[in-house]
């Protein structure tokens, strides 16, 4: 009897120790700054939605993911993408999963709808095969919202929940790279001047973003198109010396980005809307201007690839990449390395320069 009582006391004390340990660990693991994070975009942020699509735009093979836990995941880089970095900075314990295969519970913390080769325009990227255009991503989001309504009980509860979440949307790169500046496949450059084309894109983008707003998105960051004219692929094809960026491509993109800033102002006139612009172009330009200060030594060629600047194609299956990956700006012909993604992700979350975000960075967007 005495032994039994002592055992109970010991078990009781052990239970208390376990309970205190659980309380302590739960305190250490703070809640994320927002309840959920939804991601829309292209191969810069795709994390596996294209893995089971009949497409050339896939990265579910080595050496992609060489520095990512678990290896190739469908991310078009050696490790983390910018949105992986952002999700960590927002305080999410796990990386945001791809929509393909996500379960209902995961929807409550957010999913990634991005698809490599996707564009604002429906035909963009079609020469690469299957992809989920921005319109298709929005359809998937609408389906996800309907599931969330079922989980949370009613539309008002879902709307209130979604209004607190962060949304990042990075579209437009492929509308230039895999459309306007690919005249062999697309007629858009013969139909429109760069100014006219930017208007066509912005008008369609505006309609699409209105759908996002109508389905509950209130805290939305629009990621500007980066310096496509400085990618190893464009340097290989169009740069006379393989170093100088292709100015006519960058100039066209800057026209689009300027109109994107104006779009932010338009959306912020809507009830409850908090839209912001992340200056991906400017952040990348600053890194290119000061590569050594950012730990970069090679800015004009891919860490893996083929041909001039390693820019002819993406990484070949099982190709051996460069060893000093942290010193490369580009992983392959088009996509940044994890090291570059960390720099961009950090500056998107917490602006280093006043020009990095307008009117606010993601850290402040999470707080409004």
Whether pLDDT at 6 is above 80: no
* CB-CB contact of 333 with 311 (8 Å): yes
The pLDDT value recorded for residue 21 is 40
Describe the crossing of helices 280-289 and 247-267 by its angle, rounded to 10 degrees. 140
**CATH assignment of 33-367?**
3.40.50.1110
Whether pLDDT at 189 is above 90: yes
Would residue 332 show up in a list of annotated catalytic residues for this protein? yes
Q: 312 falls in which pLDDT band (50, 70, 90)?
A: confident
Separation CA 320–CA 297 (nearest Å): 19
H runs (alpha helix) in 309-350: 338-349
Q: Which two tokens stand for residue 141?
A: 């989001």
125-177: pLDDT as tens digits? 999 999 999 999 999 999 999 999 999 999 999 999 999 999 999 999 999 99
Please list, in sequence order, all residues whose beta carbon lies within 8 angstroms of the beta carbon of residue 107, skipping any fewer than 6 positions away.
Answer: 36, 144, 147, 148, 151
Please list, in sequence order, all residues whose beta carbon lies within 8 angstroms of the beta carbon of residue 8, skipping any fewer than 6 positions away.
Answer: none
Please list, in sequence order, all residues whose beta carbon lies within 8 angstroms of the beta carbon of residue 244, skipping any fewer than 6 positions away.
Answer: 235
Q: Which two tokens stand for residue 273?
A: 């809307």
Query: Which 3 state secondary structure label does DSSP give 290?
Result: coil
48-87: pLDDT as tens digits? 999 999 999 999 999 999 999 999 999 999 999 999 999 9
The pLDDT value recorded for residue 17 is 36
* Active-site residue, selected from the candidate residues 42, 67, 332, 356: 332
CB atoms within 10 A of CB 164: 15
CB atoms within 10 A of CB 254: 18
The pLDDT value recorded for residue 308 is 86
The pLDDT value recorded for residue 252 is 98
- Report the run of H or E that residue 5 belongs to, with start and end: helix 2-28
* Active-site residue, selected from the candidate residues 43, 87, 173, 231: 43
The pLDDT value recorded for residue 24 is 37
Mean predicted confidence (pLDDT) in 238-255: 95
- Give 97's Cβ-side CA count (13 Å radius): 12
Mean predicted confidence (pLDDT) in 235-257: 95
Three-state SS letters, 159-213: HHHHCCCEEEECCCHHHHHHHHCCCCCCCHHHHCCHHHHHHHHHHHHHHHHHHHH
pLDDT, the chain, mean = 91
The pLDDT value recorded for residue 101 is 87
* Active-site residue, selected from the candidate residues 73, 335, 348, 361: 335
Q: 29 falls in which pLDDT band (50, 70, 90)?
A: low
The pLDDT value recorded for residue 298 is 95
- Report the run of H or E that residue 12 belongs to, with start and end: helix 2-28
Mean predicted confidence (pLDDT) in 300-327: 91
Q: 310 falls in which pLDDT band (50, 70, 90)?
A: confident
Q: 230 falls in which pLDDT band (50, 70, 90)?
A: very high
Q: Phi then psi for 218, rounded to 5 degrees?
A: -125, -35
Separation CA 356–CA 352 (nearest Å): 7
107-117: pLDDT as tens digits? 999 999 999 99
Whether pLDDT at 33 is above 90: yes
* CB-CB contact of 109 with 36 (8 Å): yes
pTM of the predicted model over 0.75: yes
Would residue 274 show up in a list of annotated catalytic residues for this protein? no
Q: Which of the 8 DSSP states describes residue 220?
A: E
Which carries the bigger pLDDT value, residue 353 or residue 4?
353
The percentage of the chain sitting over the pLDDT mark of 90, rounded to a whole number, equals 88
Would residue 43 show up in a list of annotated catalytic residues for this protein? yes
Q: 275 falls in which pLDDT band (50, 70, 90)?
A: very high
* CB-CB contact of 115 with 136 (8 Å): yes
Please list, in sequence order, all residues whose beta carbon lies within 8 angstroms of the beta carbon of residue 131, skipping any fewer than 6 positions away.
Answer: 50, 53, 55, 57, 115, 116, 117, 118, 125
Could you tell me the sign of the dihedral formed by the alpha carbons of 287, 43, 230, 78, in that order? positive
Mean predicted confidence (pLDDT) in 281-298: 94
Q: Order of strands across the sheet with 166-169? A: 37-40, 166-169, 219-223, 274-278, 357-358
* CB-CB contact of 272 with 352 (8 Å): no
190-207: pLDDT as tens digits? 999 999 999 999 999 999
């Amino acid at each position: 009897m005495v032994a039994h009582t002592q055992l109970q006391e010991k078990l009781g004390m052990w239970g208390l120790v376990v309970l205190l340990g659980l309380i302590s660990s739960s305190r250490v693991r703070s809640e994320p700054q927002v309840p959920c994070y939804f991601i829309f975009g292209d191969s810069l942020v795709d994390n596996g939605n294209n893995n089971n699509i009949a497409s050339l735009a896939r990265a579910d093979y080595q050496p992609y993911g060489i520095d990512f836990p678990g290896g190739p995941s469908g991310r078009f880089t050696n490790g983390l993408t910018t949105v992986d970095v952002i999700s960590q900075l927002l305080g999410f314990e796990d990386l945001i999963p791809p929509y393909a295969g996500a379960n209902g519970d995961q929807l409550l913390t957010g999913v990634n709808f991005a698809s490599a080769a996707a564009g604002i325009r429906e035909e963009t990227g079609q020469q690469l095969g299957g992809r989920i255009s921005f319109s298709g991503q929005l359809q998937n989001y609408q389906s996800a919202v309907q599931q969330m309504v079922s989980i949370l009980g009613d539309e008002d509860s879902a709307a209130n929940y979604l209004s607190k979440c962060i949304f990042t949307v990075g579209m437009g790169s492929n509308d230039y790279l895999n459309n306007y500046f690919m005249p062999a496949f697309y007629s858009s450059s013969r139909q429109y001047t760069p100014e006219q084309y930017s208007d066509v894109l912005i008008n369609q983008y505006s309609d699409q973003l209105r759908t996002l707003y109508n389905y509950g998105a209130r805290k939305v960051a629009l990621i500007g198109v980066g310096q496509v004219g400085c990618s190893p692929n464009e340097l290989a094809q169009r740069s006379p010396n393989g170093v100088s960026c292709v100015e006519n491509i960058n100039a066209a993109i800057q026209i689009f980005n300027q109109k994107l800033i104006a779009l932010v102002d338009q959306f912020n006139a809507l009830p409850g809307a908090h839209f912001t612009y992340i200056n991906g172009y400017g952040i990348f330009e600053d890194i290119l201007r000061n590569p050594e200060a950012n730990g970069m030594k090679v800015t004009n060629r891919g860490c893996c690839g083929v041909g001039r600047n390693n820019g002819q194609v993406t990484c070949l299956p099982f190709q051996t990449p460069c060893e000093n990956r942290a010193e490369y700006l580009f992983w392959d012909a088009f996509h940044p390395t994890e090291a570059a993604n960390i720099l961009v992700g950090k500056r998107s979350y917490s602006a280093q320069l006043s020009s990095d975000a307008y009117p606010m960075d993601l850290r402040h967007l999470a707080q409004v």
